[in-house]
């Protein structure tokens, strides 16, 4: 019994490889009306220079470092180092689109071939507890200074299902922190 508990603890803290475990999907959604315009919210979501875990204008839970790899008006690729259960080093590709009157900022991991190229070109690695990570922000203008903001974050993680509550709690905390940024 003691070895089963020890093994469970080692899995949660990252001392045992996770490849042999079944993946588990977790999704968390939030929404609120924010007293900011759509461009102002997009500026906050894309402000990687002023966003970190502590000591920055905008907060993101456990974000220790980020580097903008490529950026234009509608798309960006960012590399991030995030502390947590296991340190995550990840490339995130985000793009802006419009569905009717709703602006969509969609973030995800790049496809494997693009990840491989990014790692070679930048010398940075992509190591994550998540096999799949997607964040979909939907920004619907209500007025010039008010926006209905909805977000859904989905991850397919490499922890066993035992890790679901830990992952869900971490995502909730991160999303609450990001929503707080819109009030600054």
pLDDT tens-digit map of 139-158: 999 999 999 999 999 999 87
- Could you tell me if 82 and 64 are in contact, meaning their C-beta atoms sit under 8 angstroms apart? yes
Residue ranges of the alpha helices (H) in 94-141?
A: 112-122
**Model confidence pLDDT, tens digit, residues 56-66:** 999 998 999 99
Q: Which domains does the chain have, with CATH numbers?
A: 19-181 (3.30.530.20)
Confidence of residue 23 (pLDDT cuts 50, 70, 90): low
Burial grade of 113 (CB within 10 A; 0-12, 13-18, 19 or more): exposed
The predicted pLDDT at position 15 comes to 36
- pLDDT greater than 50 at residue 19: no
Higher pLDDT, 87 or 16: 87
User: pTM of the prediction?
Assistant: 0.82
Residue 177's Cα: distance from chain center in Å?
12
Q: Residue 119's closest CA among 79, 170, 161?
A: 79
């Amino acid at each position: 019994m003691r070895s089963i508990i020890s093994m469970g603890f080692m899995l949660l803290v990252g001392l045992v490889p996770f490849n042999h475990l079944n993946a588990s999907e977790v999704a968390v959604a939030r929404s609120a009306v924010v007293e900011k315009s759509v461009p102002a919210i997009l500026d906050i979501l894309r402000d990687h220079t002023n966003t970190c875990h502590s000591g920055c204008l905008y907060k993101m839970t456990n974000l220790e470092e980020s580097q903008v790899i490529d950026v234009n008006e509608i798309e960006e690729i960012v590399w991030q180092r995030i502390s947590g259960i296991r340190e995550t080093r990840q490339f995130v590709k985000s793009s802006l689109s419009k569905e009717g009157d709703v602006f969509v900022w969609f973030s995800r991991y790049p496809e494997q071939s693009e990840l491989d190229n990014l790692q070679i070109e930048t010398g940075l690695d992509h190591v994550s507890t998540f096999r799949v990570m997607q964040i979909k922000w939907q920004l619907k203008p209500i007025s010039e200074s008010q926006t209905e903001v909805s977000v859904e974050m989905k991850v397919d993680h490499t922890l066993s299902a035992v890790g679901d509550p830990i992952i869900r709690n971490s995502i909730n905390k991160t999303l609450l922190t990001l929503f707080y940024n819109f009030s600054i």
